[in-house]
Amino acid sequence: MVSKVPAFADAEPEVVRPSVAAVISVQSLVHRYEDRTALNAVSFDVRPAELFGLLGPNGSGKTTLFRILSTLMIPTAGRAIVMGYDAVQAPAQVRRQIGVVFQAPSVDPKLTAYENLWHQGHLYGLRGAGLKQRVGEILARVGLADRAKERVETFSGGMQRRIELAKGLLHHPGVLLLDEPTTGLDPGARRDLWQYLQMLRDEEHVSVLVTTHLMEEAERCDRLAILNEGNLVALGTPTELKSEIGGDVILLDAAHEAGSLAERVRVRFHVETTVLENQVRIERKEGHRFITDVVEAFPGEIQAVSVSKPALEDVFIHRTGHKFWSENQDEQSESAPKRR
Amino acid sequence: MARPASAASAGVLLPAFTLWWREIVRFYRQTTRVIGVLASPLVFWLVIGSGFGTSFRSGGGPGQQHYLDYFYPGALIMIVLFTSIFTMMSVIEDRKEGFLLSVLVAPVPRSAIVLGKVLGGTTLSAIQGLIFLIFAPFAGVHLAPLQVLLVAAVVFLVSFSLTALGFAIAWPMDSSQAFHGIVNLFLIPLWLLSGALFPMTGASGWIRALMHLNPLTYGVDALRSLLYPGAPASFTLSSSIATLVLFSLVMFGLAFLMANRRSKRPPA
């Protein structure tokens, strides 16, 4: 199906065709708003039938990237190629290939579930009996067949999300793009949505790109791109990323001044230390042995100590030198994962 | 797996139809809006009618003897003007509610979005204008079927052009307050200088020039010559209608240009 040359391709004769291995190819993508750089030369590929996560805190650039991929915004520089079509030069072709689920709802609450999907189908050139059948099919798929004739405004948050998902999938897109799809959902609805995404990948071979700021969601992805302040800081499977951390992660709560404690621990034990607010963070093998040594070496200076297996947040700290959630990020701070 | 329902090019008409239909369905599901649309011409008419007192019953005049008769076409235009432009607040609502985003990422030509939304608003405001026509006999107007059709055509053209103008104004806006501000700046002068309140013949030179430039003048004039065949008109009916068609096309083009801009800025 990717046989046509994209429109306006003659403006740039050498249209880069990604290998079949990539359904989305992001190439040195740069985006600047008036006063800040939201994306700074980001590159990665999404492979067919892959559940790909875009993980980053608020303001990391993931929503900007999402807007560019969904053809809503033109990047300052670089390319975004979806199923072989350039999102800037051939937006109409890209739009035909993608299903999009936005963070904010896009369903019309005044219309019924059936009507929402009926209109959506028309926007994608589906009509008549075929559309009717497909709407029935997709409503059954998201478990809302019996609510088809009810207005969406009467639905719970989780049910509205399922209608959003049904809208995105109605036209059988090869690529599904989702922007923080679990925002505002309770844990049960969250789990359902992720199971559904995994099923789409496994049974229908849909490639899924999902943005998230939740570590536990990122863990469920096949591969991850971690963004921080517009930079791609890590790319790989969750396991690969975590294995790059040497052993365990040790955290020391400093009784007085974390900076000086970190310096003295570094000199004494010849380890890399990072200061996070009032904590000193160390990556080291055999963490349980290390903590007894360090507590004995600095009596009275350590209030609390913890040792844990590396998590994705440790990957983020390892690569950026700061926490995923800083104290002043009040918005959404309750959803920040607690450290073990 | 087989994909029988795979997305094809949706063309212009199917998406435009679906957006038009949605506008109508949304309208009649909001009872307060339906009441507003049906009742406001009535209220308007009653207030004016009692304000002008006995001339209400006079009837029969050729549109010159009583100010109320003179005012009737202008009142009709005013109703159409406000309804048309304000229906396009739905563009701002669609943007806020997120619906517009899902249309923007669909393979739908922007012309279809403009056409669907504008025809939706046009339908609603033309219906309201035509409801006002029911009161025409009380203003001494008795219409033959052909005239009714011509009046409906003029009302449609005025509605369409103004709805398209409303669309063009609403498209880049993110708040309905800003929309109100801009619209009031345009709307009142546009209406005042349309011949709705005072005839062009009596106006001073520069006001008259402005009235000549105002497309609404041609709508008011066309309606007046249709409703009161004996009354002197400033333009011929065909030239008025031609002007309105041209104005409609220009406004549609403007709305299309606004909607067609692709941006480096966030869409919502």
In angstroms, rounded to a whole number, what is the distance separating the alpha carbons of residues A335 and B15?
A: 39
The shortest CB-CB distance from A72 to any of B7, B15, B105 is to B105
State the pLDDT at residue B267.
Answer: 67
Banded model confidence at residue A311, pLDDT cuts 50, 70, 90: confident
Chain centroid to CA A260: 37
A218: in domain: yes
* A147 and A277 share one domain: no
For the segment A92-114, the average pLDDT, to the nearest whole number, is 92
A301: in domain: yes
* A35 and A151 share one domain: yes
Q: A325-340 pLDDT, tens per residue? A: 764 444 433 333 333 3
List, in sequence order, every residue forming a beta bridge with A82; answer none if it has no partner.
Answer: A24, A85
Domain count for chain A, please give it: 2
Name the token pair of A32.
């600047």
For the segment A194-216, the average pLDDT, to the nearest whole number, is 91
Q: B129-159 pLDDT, tens per residue? A: 888 888 777 777 778 888 889 999 999 999 9
The 3-class secondary structure across A20-72, one letter per residue, is CCCCEEEEEEEEECCCCEEEEEEEEEECCCCEEEEECCCCCCHHHHHHHHCCC
A119 CB neighbours in chain B (<8 A) are 18-19, 21-22
Q: A153-166 pLDDT, tens per residue? A: 999 888 999 999 99
pLDDT above 90 for A59 = no
State the pLDDT at residue B9.
Answer: 56
State the pLDDT at residue A335.
Answer: 37
A67: in domain: yes
Could you tell me the strand order of the sheet in which A175-179 lies? A98-101, A175-179, A207-212, A51-55, A223-228, A231-236
Question: CB of A42 within 8 A of CB of A65?
Answer: yes
User: Do B7 and A104 lie within an 8 Å CB cutoff?
Assistant: no
State the pLDDT at residue A278.
Answer: 85
User: Do B102 and A167 lie within an 8 Å CB cutoff?
Assistant: yes
* A259 and A228 share one domain: no
Give B29's contacts (C-beta < 8 A, 6+ positions apart): A110
pLDDT above 80 for A124 = yes
* A218 and A255 share one domain: no
Mean pLDDT of chain A: 85
Which residues constitute the domain of residue A254? 246-309
A80: in domain: yes
In angstroms, rounded to a whole number, what is the distance separating the alpha carbons of residues B55 and B57?
A: 5
Give A103's contacts (C-beta < 8 A, 6+ positions apart): A63, A179, A180, A181, A183
Question: CB of B153 within 8 A of CB of B100?
Answer: no
Instruction: Provide the 10 A C-beta neighbour count for residue A288.
Output: 9
State the pLDDT at residue B75.
Answer: 84
The shortest CB-CB distance from A123 to any of B1, B15, B266 is to B15
The shortest CB-CB distance from A96 to any of B7, B14, B264 is to B7
E strands, A181-333, in order? 207-212, 223-228, 231-236, 248-254, 273-276, 279-284, 302-308
* A64 and A176 share one domain: yes
Give B185's contacts (C-beta < 8 A, 6+ positions apart): none
Nearest CA to CA, how far is B141 from chain A (Å)?
A: 40
A98 CB neighbours in chain B (<8 A) are 105
Give the DSSP H/E element, type plus range, for residue B213.
Answer: helix B205-213
State the pLDDT at residue A318.
Answer: 80
Provide the residue ranges of all domains of chain B, joining segments of one domain with +. 13-260
User: Do A102 and B107 lie within an 8 Å CB cutoff?
Assistant: no
State the pLDDT at residue B66.
Answer: 66
Q: Kindly list the residues of chain B whose beta carbon comes within 8 Å of any beta carbon in chain A.
A: 1, 3-11, 14-15, 17-19, 21-22, 25-26, 29-30, 97-99, 101-109, 262-268
* A300 and A189 share one domain: no
* A156 and A211 share one domain: yes
Nearest CA to CA, how far is B43 from chain A (Å)?
A: 28
A115 CB neighbours in chain B (<8 A) are 22, 25
* pTM of the model as a whole: 0.81
In angstroms, rounded to a whole number, what is the distance separating the alpha carbons of residues B183 and A55?
A: 43
Strands A302-308, A248-254: pairing kind: antiparallel
A321: in domain: no
Give the DSSP H/E element, type plus range, for residue B179.
Answer: helix B176-192
> What are the φ/ψ torsions at residue A249 (nearest 5 degrees)?
-110, 125
pLDDT above 50 for A100 = yes
* A170 and A276 share one domain: no
A76 CB neighbours in chain B (<8 A) are 264
Single-letter code of the amino acid located at B176: S
Give B33's contacts (C-beta < 8 A, 6+ positions apart): B27
* For B93, nearest residue in chain A (alpha carbons): A108
* A227 and A268 share one domain: no
Listed residue (A214, A219, A284) closest to A251, CA to CA: A284
The shortest CB-CB distance from A122 to any of B10, B262, B265 is to B10
A117: in domain: yes
Q: Is the ipTM of this complex over 0.95?
A: no
pLDDT above 90 for A30 = yes
- Of residues A220 and B6, more confidently modeled: A220
User: Please, what's the b/e burial string for B206-234 (b: 16 or more CB within 10 A of its CB; e: otherwise)?
Assistant: eebeebeebbbbbbbbbbbbbbbeebebb
* A179 and A256 share one domain: no
* A114 and A228 share one domain: yes
State the pLDDT at residue A249.
Answer: 87
- Of residues A176 and A311, more confidently modeled: A176
Residue that terminates a domain, selected from A235, A268, A292 = A235
User: Do B102 and A124 lie within an 8 Å CB cutoff?
Assistant: no
The shortest CB-CB distance from B5 to any of A72, A119, A126 is to A126
CATH code, domain carrying A290 = 3.30.70.260
pLDDT tens by residue, chain B, 268 residues? 334 344 445 688 999 999 999 999 998 888 888 888 777 777 776 776 666 655 444 444 444 456 667 778 888 888 899 889 989 999 999 998 889 999 999 999 999 999 999 999 999 999 888 888 887 777 777 788 888 899 999 999 999 999 999 999 999 988 888 898 888 888 888 888 988 878 877 778 888 889 989 999 999 999 988 988 877 778 888 999 999 999 999 999 999 999 988 776 666 5
* A108 and A195 share one domain: yes
Test the B interface: residue of A93, A102, A120, A122 with most B CBs within 10 Å: A122
